[in-house]
Structure formats: structure tokens, C-alpha cells
């Protein structure tokens, strides 16, 4: 499936992809994979590649991280098109669209505590959907989820399914603490920026069904998805800012770029020692083949230290 789709996509003139990091820390090898994979796929299809800073969650933000991320992208020769968009500057846009949903009576307030939801098995069971009594502040806002998308076709992972309980959950659009939920803003932004192709890590595989639920609710044709294998640590944890994955060292840019290309299974016959970053990227763009990418997570160490 992946192959035939790639073949037809070559003819699509308006490919628009993006990289959407959260500024909760510097880029590490795992985020380099997502940045590079989305960049190569976009450029291979003569597409645009945008960068969006997902600074929607101030408590998790590390000061200076946005600037550092952009600088690292430039070091790796990953130059973006158009202006960078910052989610922190788009609250009115998000609120406007949330209000439209609320005004159609397709979302409702919920004051359930995390504890109540955990006691019900971890998924929210619709407790406040038909609540007649007053919901007390602070409350979250949940989508009345009548679509319940439970599967999708991924360009690399093939058919991805989630449980129907997960698929049908009235998930959160705005949190109790007043912050917009990632699921809502990512979809509103991807639609607004006319993104056609989302290439990112497998950590977002399951929640993709929620994002598709929102696409369908908003009557927008779905985008295509490609979920890249995660880079993991020796004990199987995904490399992340939370588990202190190392920031990408600028002096190792070329080695790291090669490691990331190998991680993505991409072949290059170049004597790469002799080539610049730009030349390496150019060759990787020309030779990009998604059927060479593993579906499984892989040890970051295996690539970084060899």
C-alpha cells in the first residue's frame, strides 16, 4: 500500500508538509528524525515544508527552546518555507472555532476530576454529557463525539486501529486550566495552513484517530499520515525531553544527519565524508523511499555511536 500511494503522490502538485515541535526543550535525535523525515518527504514531492512552534502549553515550555530549535534546524540545512507560525499567538482563532462548536451544541463542559475518570477505568465515560445540574468551575470542554473514528491508513504503518472505547471518548478540546488541547489546535492549524501531509513520530499514532474525528466533524477531507518509527533508549523508552534525551551537538551535525538517514533506512552511495550537509540532503531528497523505513522502533544508540 505504501508504495502505490507514494507513486500516485508524486503527481500531486500541492503537497504541503510541516514540522511542529513543542518548545519544551532542545531538539534531540528523536525530534531530528521527525524533522528530517517530514522535510525529505515534502521536498521529494516538490512540496512546501512549514515550521510551526506549538507553544500552546506555557507550563511545559523551556525558555529559549524555540530559538534553539530553529537554530538547530538551520544547522541541519532544514530550511522552511513561509513564516513560522506560533500557536501562542493564535488563541483568538482557536477560541473562535471552539465557540462555533459549542454554539452548535456539539461540545459541553465537564468538571470530572482525573480521579473520577481513573476510577472509571481511565477513559471518560460521558458523565457530564447530559448533566442537568450546574457544572462547577474549573471545567474542561469536551467534544460530543458521535463519529468515533477507530482506524486509518498510514502510509508507513498501514492499517492502524484503536479500541472503540478510545475512539468514542468525548475527548477534551479545552482543558480545565484554560489551555487549548493539542488535538484541537493541531487540527485547526493544519487545516488553516492547508497541510496535505503529516509526517511525525509514532507517539502520535493513536491520537491521530481523534484528529481525524475533528477533520470529519469540520467536514474537511483528511490529510495523509506517515508515522515514523520512534527512536528509543536501551530500556525501551522513547527519546524525549522528559527522559533527558541529549540535545543535538552542533559539532556533530554531519554525523548526526547521517545517523538519522540511516535510522530512516535511507541508502546513499556517496562517500559522505567528502560531502557537505547541503549535498547530503540533496541526495537524500532525490533518493527518499518510504518503503525503506522500518515500522518498528529502534535504538537511537545503535545509530548515533557508530
User: Cell triple for residue 271?
Assistant: 562517500
Q: Please report how close the Cβ of residue 140 comes to Zn ion at its closest, in angstroms.
A: 8
Residues lying near ligand GLU in the complex (CB under 6 A) are found at 20-22, 54, 186, 200, 204
258 makes contact, choosing from ligand GLU, Zn ion, none, with CB < 5 to 8 Å by partner type, with none
Q: Which does 110 bind (CB under 5 to 8 A by kind): Zn ion, ligand GLU, none?
A: Zn ion
Angle at 201 between CA 277 and CA 303, to 5 degrees: 50
Query: 3-class DSSP state for residue 136?
Result: coil
Question: Going by C-beta distance under 8 Å and a sequence separation of 6 or more, which residues neighbour residue 152?
Answer: 159, 160, 208, 209, 212, 222, 225
27 lines the binding site for Zn ion (CB under 5 A): no
Shortest Å distance, C-beta 278 to ligand GLU:
25
d(CA 18, CA 299): 25
- In this complex, which beta carbon is closest to Zn ion, that of residue 49 or of residue 171? 171
Binding-site size, Zn ion (CB under 5 A): 4
Judge residue 3's burial from the number of C-beta atoms within 10 Å of its C-beta, 0-12 exposed, 13-18 middle, 19 or more buried.
Answer: exposed
Q: Kindly state the helix (H) or strand (E) to which residue 226 belongs, with its residue range.
A: strand 224-228
- Does residue 128 belong to the site contacting Zn ion (CB under 5 A)? yes
Selection from ligand GLU, Zn ion, none that 135 binds (CB < 5 to 8 A by kind) is none
Q: Is 112 in the site for Zn ion (CB under 5 A)?
A: yes
9 belongs to the binding site for Zn ion (CB under 5 A)? no
25 binds, among Zn ion, ligand GLU, none (CB under 5 to 8 A by kind): none
Question: Measuring CA to CA, which residue among 27, 184, 176 is closest to residue 90?
Answer: 184
CB of 170 to Zn ion, least distance (A): 9
Give the one entry of ligand GLU, Zn ion, none that residue 128 binds, where binding means its C-beta sits below a cut-off of 5 to 8 angstroms depending on kind.
Answer: Zn ion
Min dist. Cβ of residue 168 to Zn ion (A) = 15
Segment contacting Zn ion by CB under 5 A, of 54-62, 102-110, 170-178, 215-223: 102-110
Question: Any contact of residue 127 with Zn ion (CB under 5 A)?
Answer: yes
Q: Are 145 and 169 in contact (CB under 8 A)?
A: yes
CA atoms of 270 and 268, how far apart (whole Å): 6
**Which part of the chain contacts Zn ion (CB under 5 A), choosing from 111-119, 153-161, 261-269, 283-291?**
111-119
DSSP-based helix, strand, coil % in the chain, nearest 5: 40, 15, 45
Q: Which residues would be at the binding site for Zn ion (CB under 5 A)? A: 110, 112, 127-128
Amino acid at each position: 500500500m505504501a508504495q502505490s500511494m507514494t507513486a500516485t503522490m508524486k503527481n500531486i502538485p500541492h503537497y504541503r508538509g510541516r514540522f511542529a515541535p513543542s518548545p519544551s526543550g532542545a531538539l534531540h535525535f528523536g525530534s531530528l528524525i521527525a524533522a528530517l523525515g517530514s522535510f525529505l518527504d515534502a521536498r521529494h514531492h516538490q512540496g512546501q515544508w512549514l515550521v510551526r512552534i506549538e507553544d500552546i502549553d506555557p507550563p511545559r515550555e523551556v525558555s529559549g527552546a524555540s530559538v534553539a530549535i530553529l537554530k538547530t534546524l538551520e544547522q541541519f540545512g532544514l530550511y522552511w518555507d513561509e513564516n513560522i507560525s506560533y500557536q501562542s499567538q493564535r488563541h483568538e482563532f482557536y477560541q473562535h472555532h471552539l465557540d462555533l462548536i459549542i454554539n452548535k451544541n456539539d461540545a459541553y463542559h465537564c468538571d470530572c476530576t482525573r480521579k473520577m475518570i481513573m476510577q472509571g477505568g481511565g477513559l471518560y465515560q460521558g458523565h457530564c454529557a447530559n448533566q442537568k445540574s450546574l457544572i462547577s468551575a474549573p471545567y474542561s470542554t469536551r467534544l460530543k463525539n458521535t463519529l468515533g473514528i477507530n482506524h486509518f491508513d498510514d502510509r508507513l504503518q498501514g492499517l492502524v486501529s484503536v479500541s472503540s472505547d478510545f475512539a468514542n471518548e468525548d475527548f477534551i478540546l479545552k482543558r480545565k486550566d484554560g489551555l487549548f488541547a493539542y488535538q484541537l489546535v493541531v487540527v485547526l492549524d493544519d487545516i488553516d495552513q492547508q497541510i496535505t501531509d503529516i509526517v511525525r513520530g509514532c507517539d502520535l499514532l493513536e491520537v491521530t484517530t481523534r484528529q481525524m474525528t475533528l477533520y470529519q466533524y469540520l467536514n474537511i477531507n483528511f490529510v495523509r499520515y506517515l508515522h515514523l518509527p520512534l527512536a528509543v533508549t536501551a530500556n525501551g523508552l522513547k527519546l524525549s525531553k522528559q527522559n533527558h534525551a541529549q540535545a543535538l551537538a552542533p559539532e556533530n551535525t554531519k554525523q548526526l544527519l547521517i545517523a538519522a538517514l540511516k535510522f530512516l533506512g535511507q541508502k546513499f552511495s556517496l562517500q559522505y565524508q567528502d560531502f557537505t550537509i547541503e549535498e547530503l540532503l540533496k541526495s537524500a531528497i532525490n533518493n527518499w523511499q518510504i518503503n525503506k523505513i522500518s515500522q518498528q522502533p529502534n535504538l537511537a544508540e545503535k545509530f548515533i555511536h557508530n
